[in-house]
Amino acid sequence: MKNKQIIAVVDDDDDDLFLIQEAFKVCLNEEKVLIATSGMDLLSRLETVKTLPSFLLLDLNMPLMSGFEVLGKLRADPRYNLMPVLIFSTSNAQPDIDRAYELGANSYVKKPDSFNDYKSVVEDLCNFWLRVASTPSSRFYR
């Protein structure tokens, strides 16, 4: 039996999480969205899922554990090091962008300013990562 695909999102901002979830509702079919509000929350939730998320949307600016630290932990863990990680940040600073790629991010997408833009960005993101690319999400690790 085929498992439902999962998309994971980590963001500490309630407003951003709301916009992301609403945007996903428009473009997802059967995929489930796993929401985490911090890096620690994500790592804890990943322990409970049976398949790797098809991709992870990762905010950078978070208290306690930054997005860069989360990315470093994921890339150092053999259970999660193949999972596509897409940085989703308000930062447009080139050093942040370069650092994200150096640490192994699969791409870097700037957060939009309006809900309409959220919808179109999330639609493009889903069209590429769920319909054009293939990901290692079928890997069972429990």
Partner 1 sequence: MTGPLSILLIGSDTPDRQALADAFRSYGVPHRYLSAQEDVTLNAYFQKGLADALFVPTLIMLDRDTGKPAKILELLKQHPVLRRIPVIVYGSGNDPEQVRLAYRWGATCYMPRPENWQASMAHFCSYWKKRVALPTIKAEDSLSSTQNSNQHNRRRWA
Q: Which is nearer to partner 1, 4 or 139 (CB)?
A: 139
Q: Which stretch binds partner 1 (CB under 8 A): 3-11, 22-30, 63-71, 121-129?
A: 121-129
Integer CA distances (angstroms), 24 to 6, 29, 38, 103, 139, in order: 12, 9, 19, 27, 23
Contacts of 138 (CB under 8 A, 6+ apart): 3, 51
Q: Residue from 29, 30, 48, 131 that binds partner 1 (CB under 8 A)? A: 131
Q: How far is the CB of 119 from partner 1 (least distance, A)?
A: 13
53/129 Cα distance (integer angstroms): 11
Q: Residue from 102, 114, 115, 119 that binds partner 1 (CB under 8 A)? A: 102
- 27 lies in the binding site for partner 1 (CB under 8 A): no
- 142 lies in the binding site for partner 1 (CB under 8 A): no
- 135 lies in the binding site for partner 1 (CB under 8 A): yes
Interaction residues for partner 1, span 81-100 (CB under 8 A): 82, 84, 92, 94, 97-98
Q: Is 53 exposed, middle or buried (0-12, 13-18, 19+ CB in 10 A)?
A: buried
Compute, in degrees rounded to 10, the torsion defined by CA atoms 35, 37, 39, 44: -60
Q: Which residues are at the interface with partner 1 (CB under 8 A)? A: 82, 84, 92, 94, 97-98, 101-102, 106-110, 121, 124-125, 127-129, 131-136, 138-139
